[in-house]
Structure 1
Amino acid sequence: MGERCKNRRMFQIPLISLLMIAILTGCNKTQTDHVEKKEEEKMLVGFSMATLKEDRWLRDRDIFIAKAKQEGIDVIVKNANNDSNIQLEQVKEMVRKGIDILVIVPNDSEEVKECIEVAKSEEIPVISYDRLARNSDVDVYISFDNVKVGELQGRYLAEHVPEGGYIILNGAKDDFNSEMFHEGYMNVLQKLADEDKIQILEETWVDNWTRETAYDFVIKGVNTHGNKVRAILAANDSLALGAIDALSVSQMTNDVVVVGHDADLIACQRIVKGTQALTIYKPITKLIDKTVEVCKQLLVDARIDSGETINDGTYDVPYIKIDVVPVTKDNIDDTIIKDGFHLKEEVYNIND
């Protein structure tokens, strides 16, 4: 009997060992399956947009979705309709849905801070896209050279209207880009104004970049100053359209040089028609390619070495800057149309 017990105890040892191996193998298999499953999961990016009112932002949305899909990235897009409260609620919703990265176009450069805090509380990296979020310490700001945009507008007017009265339509005051555009064109125009070669007859900041507000402001300016108005600098093409409509009503379309920026299709049509002199082409595809690249990088490395920073009011944040191109009737075929940004048939309004 004692011998049998002894033999049974000896036999139990390999049985226990085999059982432990089986359990450990099962655990390892489960862990491996979990890792493989995790690797197969797609990155989910939340793209919070301030507005889709302008043609330019519709283009950003569509190209971003297409590029992300090409890279195997899923995207949730939300449009705040120029409302900061809506943008905040939409960001909260995207965070609840488990986004890995937040790409945000701030509706208000100051109020957006709360949106960014929501993302950061869940350790979600934030990219400030084309509009700088102020005092928020985002992971990176990716945009165009916005000061250069203004400088190119200012240079064109300084060369083509070196004397006479100007009306300036700045963008929304709560959009920090507006300040950078303003800085750019005043880098050029202030000297002419100080020398009294040009006179800034009227200037305003247009809430929400509203075309109708620009129209009303130019109507009043023209009624006040008449043919003293020789140039209108509009901070984007939508404001330029409002200005041109006002000039048309006042029968001054051919007497005033108007510049804008964004290369909206309707602006390009105005350029070949001759009612708008200049727009600034911002290669959105390059902006989006870089943004998607940075999204992937942020999941691997929290630090972005952009080589340049911009102060958001409190923090120096990495700034990735995309170059811009001035477009007139002389080079529109070799820039916007050549790049496929707009079709020649659309720009020249060619009917089949």
Structure 2
Amino acid sequence: MSTVSEKFTPKRSIGCLCCLLICSLLCGTIAGCTSKNDFAPVSSGTKKMTIGFSMATLKEDRWLRDRDIFSAKAKQENIDVIVTNANNDINEQYRQVKSMIDKGIDLLVMVPQDCERSAYCVQLANNAGIPVISYDRLVRNCKVDAYVSFDNVKVGQLQAEELLKKVPTGGYLILNGAKSDNNSTMYHQGYFDKLQPSVLDGKIKIIAETWVQDWLRENAYSFVSEQLTHNAGQINAILAANDSLAWGAIDALSEAKLTKKVIVVGHDADLAACQRIVDGTQDLTIYKPIDKLVEKTVEICRTLAQKKKISYEQTINNGAYDVPYLMCDVIPVTIDNIDATVIKDGFQLKEDVYRTSK
């Protein structure tokens, strides 16, 4: 077998060298243009982050706001977010969290439906090596990476202070939130930080107290209706753990023709509550700037995704761990400052708040 080879001549060599030189110059020019003007796509090498946002409920106006603000912030930050709503069903929350983990989320942000039983959801994430942020409600007895919430004890203190100012003596009803929500305990602590001295002095009397299952307005209504039947004339003030419970209480007062005669406080600055404040049927709500809570949460998500340490000033013990507690402040809202707080911040629109006022 023979091999055919071309003879290399000087003339052919010069031609080849010219071709090589021209190609080299062209390649260099193209490369230079690409670098300078970004004609070619450049991969950052970083994967787009996906957050699973597990919500316990969307029944109250407040949680709808959290969902919408969180989703908008994630989109602004080029973060994918999967939002689920457990409809106050712990088993459904467990299934939803498992599904999100199977889909490959990078972080889990969770509003626990049950402060104890939602720990099983956290365990799923722990087993998958996924960081967990407890959002506004604390999950107990499990390993969470951070708790982002408001000053919940202060919420209760501000509510009690307003009642003591308006009703320094008399009978009080207390509508705590759901026992399954750790925040309810924190609000309760805040109430009694302020109420206890007056209770011990006999200036105020706790006529009745309840823990409202699932934070449902209808359950608050039923309890207050029953108390008005049995304790007519003895109830001067109602401390409701949120605006939904305050609404149920005011519905019962309305039926008994006692609106504006019994002082009611709530919290969350829901639209209906702000309308009741300008109408005079609710005395106080508490404004919790959700945009600040969301901003802090997304910031922590980025920190954890980059496997960096969270910067924090305090912790809260969840029964098993000292969890970094990143806290946002709260603002009391009455008829005197509603325009300068929730309306000025754009949390509620003035035309909506004053729509029902006479």
What is the TM-score with the length of structure 1 in the denominator?
Answer: 0.88
Deviations 1:94-136 (CA, angstroms, capped at 9, x unpaired): 0011000100000000001110010111110000000000011
Distance of 1:320 and 1:293 partners within structure 2: 11
Partner of 1:84: 90
The answer on 1:300 being equivalent to 2:319 is: no
Partner of 2:160: 154
Distance of 2:188 and 2:308 partners within structure 1: 33
Partner of 2:13: none
The answer on 1:271 being equivalent to 2:277 is: yes
Distance of 1:137 and 1:195 partners within structure 2: 42
Q: Which has the higher helix share?
A: 1
State the 1:227 CA deviation: 1.4
Runs of at least 4 residues of structure 1 off by over 4 A?
none
> Would you say the 8 A contact 2:126–2:143 is kept in 1?
no
* 2:302 aligned partner, one-letter code: K
Q: How does 1:35-74 map to 2 (within 5 A)?
A: 36=43, 38-39=45-46, 41-74=47-80
> Would you say the 8 A contact 1:166–1:201 is kept in 2?
yes
State the 1:350 CA deviation: 7.0
> Would you say the 8 A contact 1:137–1:316 is kept in 2?
no
Partner of 1:168: 174
Give the secondary-structure state (helix, strand or coil) at the position aligned to 1:229: coil
Q: How does 1:161-310 map to 2 (within 5 A)?
A: 161-310=167-316
Moved more, 305-314 or 178-187: 305-314
Q: Percent identity?
A: 62
Distance of 1:151 and 1:52 partners within structure 2: 26
Give the secondary-structure state (helix, strand or coil) at the position aligned to 2:231: helix
Moved more, 329-338 or 304-313: 304-313
Partner of 1:140: 146
Give the secondary-structure state (helix, strand or coil) at the position aligned to 2:316: strand
Distance of 2:195 and 2:143 partners within structure 1: 32
Distance of 1:134 and 1:267 partners within structure 2: 30
> Would you say the 8 A contact 1:49–1:80 is kept in 2?
yes
> Of 302, 306, 316, which aligns to 2:322?
316
> Would you say the 8 A contact 2:54–2:109 is kept in 1?
yes
State the 1:303 CA deviation: 2.6
> Would you say the 8 A contact 1:277–1:328 is kept in 2?
yes
Larger radius of gyration: 2
Partner of 1:10: none
Distance of 2:108 and 2:260 partners within structure 1: 46
Distance of 1:350 and 1:187 partners within structure 2: 35
State the 1:177 CA deviation: 0.2
Deviations 1:25-58 (CA, angstroms, capped at 9, x unpaired): xxxxxxxxxx94742x311000000000000000
Deviations 1:142-170 (CA, angstroms, capped at 9, x unpaired): 00000000000010111110000000000
> Would you say the 8 A contact 1:161–1:231 is kept in 2?
yes
* 2:268 aligned partner, one-letter code: D
Distance of 2:45 and 2:244 partners within structure 1: 45
The answer on 1:329 being equivalent to 2:335 is: yes
> Of 96, 101, 108, which aligns to 2:114?
108
The answer on 1:117 being equivalent to 2:138 is: no
The answer on 1:127 being equivalent to 2:133 is: yes
State the 1:171 CA deviation: 0.2
What is the TM-score with the length of structure 2 in the denominator?
Answer: 0.87
> Would you say the 8 A contact 2:279–2:356 is kept in 1?
no
Distance of 1:225 and 1:255 partners within structure 2: 15
* 1:272 aligned partner, one-letter code: V
Q: Tell me, which stretches of 5 or more residues in structure 2 are unaligned? A: 1-41
Distance of 1:191 and 1:138 partners within structure 2: 36
Partner of 2:353: 347
